[in-house]
Chain A
């Protein structure tokens, strides 16, 4: 290698990680993201309470699908119990607001950190499992948390749930949700364009090979899992405060996990924008179908998922990448 003076034949590595998309595409992406953010910032001034709430809950799923994408899309560990982190965050905020009189916004750091602690606690044993075993273990742990919330009446109110003082909170929760969604997507972007993200992708592709090549896969999986738990907890806290009432069955509801998985897969798991696009399309479609065809909405939803799996198995982003419309790879 040394006598081939290889440095002479390759162009210098001047670019850091990230920001390596072709200039035109990068400008387009930034313009689209800036435009969307501006529209979302102005949205409450342009419309009514119903539509503000609609976008708030859409943003909730942006956070959930993007967070799920960190451990399941980037790292390849498909979690069927991610709603547990959302539920812990919801209960943290509800308990602190209703029982201890905390201002709701001060509860949010704790609503994010407690799920991270839970992820650290269960991560070491669970992340030793692979494929369906990991998925089922996560689902089982979520169910265990639901039961704990149901039976620990002194803390959680049991089946009666927790009711918070009634206030009008649409605007503050909307902007909090928007901020959290923006931060979640920004974090996903930072991960995807870092070597940490590349290593997660290596683990997803072949964990044994990644480990044999010097990647500490246990540590990387743990970090990814803990990062994927933070924002669902925070948004859980915000949702709890917006609804002003929570109870175990709807908070640890497995359909929330199914929704976040479906949305991420529709957009393209393992990509940054995939879960955002998937959520925007699927949540809007769900709402429209439910609105116009209430007796058919689950059938239509199922048919929609089947069509996506048949014709775009790698999601919308995968479809675009395969056709060369979006740059592939992180490093160029």
Chain B
């Protein structure tokens, strides 16, 4: 299932000693790694290991307490979330955050910056079709099923035509049919040159679809590598199952 192609080692995201505290709790601790361009990467770790916090730092939703990170070589720390999105990093959320009282189509149209409304509408309809939600375009987002809302959020994240897509637990609570759709679309996007980073607990999804995996534990990066390396890594096994 893994996408074909050579992993480009010129990192599109470069994290350098990124750190975040919540009071006395160190949620992300001196985290440094580089995400290569044009791959599907996985970010895994036990509950509370700092994965979602790291996404929140990368998208500017939380301010970092230390370190820095670069996107295409440009420093990003200190930018506001909308500025980061406009530069090319978009995301979905662990807990779905669609605009519930707006229709599926409005969810997408609202976030576009394109001035030509006809183009915006066309692009939104294309993306709804891309995630198989076109027949539901006029339905309130809040009326969609959980899996459909995940797909809608995925489509909405694509409206800004990002180069990097951060997906927070895309498989959680999604039935197999919708999950297959989601994974197929991820691979199509990867084939178009996008970089996708997923936080995921479903190890089948991670091992079968990610080309590179980063493992966090207690906010620290404890391992990185291709799936085969991660599966046999003693520190990763310890983090998940204990000594």
Contacts and interface: CB of A to CB of B under 8 A. Distances in A.
Nearest to A11: B125
B129 to A, nearest CB: 5
Contacts of A208: 61, 81, 97
B159 interface: yes
B13 to A, nearest CB: 16
B130 A206 contact: no
B111 A210 contact: yes
B103 interface: yes
Contacts of A202: 99, 102, 107, 110-111
B110 A2 contact: no
Which among A13, A208, A213 has the greatest number of chain B C-beta atoms within 10 A?
A213
Interface stretch (B4-12, B115-123, B202-210): B115-123
A201 B130 contact: no
Contacts of A144: none
B137 to A, nearest CB: 8
Contacts of B91: 212
A330 interface: yes
B110 A212 contact: no
A23 B130 CA distance: 30
A204 B99 CA distance: 9
A24 interface: no
Contact of B129 (A9, A14, A16, A270): A9
Given A13-B122, A213-B160, A199 B192 contact: no
Given A1-B188, A212-B59, A201 B102 contact: yes
Given A10-B125, A332-B138, A213 B156 contact: yes
A213 to B, nearest CB: 4
B101 A212 contact: no
Interface in B154-175: 156-157, 159-160
A198 interface: yes
Interface string A310-329: 00000000000000000011
Contacts of A17: 117
Contacts of B74: none
B102 A198 contact: yes
A258 interface: no
Interface stretch (A91-99, A113-121, A214-222, A231-239): A214-222
Task: Please report whether the interface of chain B is mostly helix, strand, loop or mixed according to DSSP.
Answer: helix
Interface in A233-266: none
A214 B84 CA distance: 8
B136 interface: no
Interface residues on B, range: 35 or more
B99 A195 contact: no
A7 interface: yes
A217 B82 CA distance: 8
B229 interface: no
B9 to A, nearest CB: 26
A84 to B, nearest CB: 28
A296 B128 CA distance: 55
A216 B82 contact: yes
Contact of A198 (B85, B109, B134): B109
Contacts of A10: 122, 125-126, 129, 134
B33 interface: no
A210 B129 CA distance: 22
Contacts of B90: 212-214
A299 to B, nearest CB: 34
B70 interface: no
Given A1-B192, A328-B140, A206 B97 contact: yes
A83 B217 CA distance: 53
B86 interface: yes
A332 B136 CA distance: 11
B99 A205 contact: yes
A211 B97 CA distance: 12
A6 B129 contact: yes
B82 A211 contact: yes
B86 to A, nearest CB: 5
Contacts of B100: 205
B118 A13 contact: yes
Contact of B85 (A13, A214, A218): A214
A331 interface: yes
Closest 3 CB pairs of A and B: A13-B121, A205-B99, A214-B85
